[in-house]
Amino acid sequence: MMTLMKAFISVDLEGMPYIVIPGHLNLKGPLYDEARRIATKITIIAAEELNRNGFDRIVIADSHGPMVNLLVEDLPEYVDVIRGFPRPLSMVSGVEGSKIAMFLGYHAKFGTAKSTFDHTYSSASINRVEVNGLEASEFLLNAYVAGELGVPVALVAGEAQLLDDDVKKHAPWAETVALKSSLSRFSARSASMVRIEKQLREAVRKAVAAKKKGNVELLMAKKPVKIGISFLVSQFADAAELLPSIKRIDGLRVEYTAKTMAEAYKTLELLVLASSGVQGLVESLR
């Protein structure tokens, strides 16, 4: 029986080229359709190049907001798409069993200067996430989960500051493609799509070659995994503290310990959902 070669792609929006204002990012935004076309184009480029280099099954995790952003009718036949939220492992749902992982459209963590849409996992509820005392971006959180499941992140394409601050520091083996260089939170400079396509295709080829040569590594968090979360407002920490496993540190900060990174990640998802519920309750009482 022929063995299928499986690759995984996680797709976010904030680090995509040309996407610079809030109206690009939400379902009712005036430029959301443009953002969807851009993200789909970038995703197809990476998927096509993976397929040309030996991967006959590619799982794509649509991973921004409600996670229903990609124009699925444009995707090639060898692709499976994971959509919708909440779901197990969120942005890396479906990564298990893959030979290689690639992250597209990723952005810098909360508080990064001159970086479009800087945030960490939830711009509506979270200020800071730490893994074993290390401040983590979404890249690092997702790469830790992938690594624990035996899947190396071999390529990251996104906002330049993320690549400089996190990817090159924590995963120097990974190929990187700067899809944009930010001028402020709501402005950035990007190359033409023609040039981006050439750079991305070359980076995918190099990433696959590096994997075949054994030159990519698993990014792993030490176990047990200690997570620290600082919320934007105290009512979110109030809700988090209701879980017996959560320790309240101060008005905004909580901590917890998990046996695995996947377990830690699922708890983070739950706390974000709880924060959303609290915010909805607050709005209903106004």
- CATH code, domain carrying 276: 3.30.1360
| Residue 257 counted as domain residue | yes
172, 187, 212 - which closes a domain: 212
89 shares its domain with 149: yes
61 sits in which H/E element: strand 57-62
229 shares its domain with 199: no
130 sits in which H/E element: strand 126-131
pLDDT, residue 1, reads: 38
Domain ranges, residue 154 = 6-119+138-212
261 shares its domain with 233: yes
**Predicted model pTM:** 0.96
Bridge-based pairing of strands 57-62 and 6-11 is: parallel
191 shares its domain with 272: no
DSSP-derived 3-state class of residue 119: coil
194 shares its domain with 247: no
What does pLDDT average to in each consecutive run of 10 residues of the chain (286 residues)? 78 98 97 98 98 97 97 97 96 98 98 96 96 98 98 98 97 98 98 98 98 97 98 98 97 98 98 96 92
125: which DSSP letter? T
212, 247, 266 - which closes a domain: 212
Task: Provide the sign of the torsion angle of the four alpha carbons 179, 62, 214, 147, taken in this order.
Answer: positive
The dihedrals phi and psi of 256, each to the nearest 5 degrees, come to -155, 160
Write the CA distances from 223 to 26, 95, 138, 227, 247, integer angstroms: 36, 20, 19, 11, 18
Nearest to 177 by CA among 163, 193, 191: 163
188, 212, 236 - which closes a domain: 212
The dihedrals phi and psi of 169, each to the nearest 5 degrees, come to -80, -45
Contact 272, 125 (CB under 8 A): yes
How many Cα atoms occupy the beta-carbon half-sphere of 188 within 13 Å? Answer: 29
Whether residue 224 is preceded by a cis peptide bond, meaning omega within 30 degrees of 0, is yes
How many Cα atoms occupy the beta-carbon half-sphere of 169 within 13 Å? Answer: 12
Count of structural domains, the chain: 2
Nearest to 158 by CA among 182, 130, 123: 182
Helix, strand, coil % in the chain, rounded to nearest 5:
35, 25, 40
pLDDT, residue 2, reads: 45
105 shares its domain with 169: yes
pLDDT, residue 4, reads: 61
| Residue 90 counted as domain residue | yes
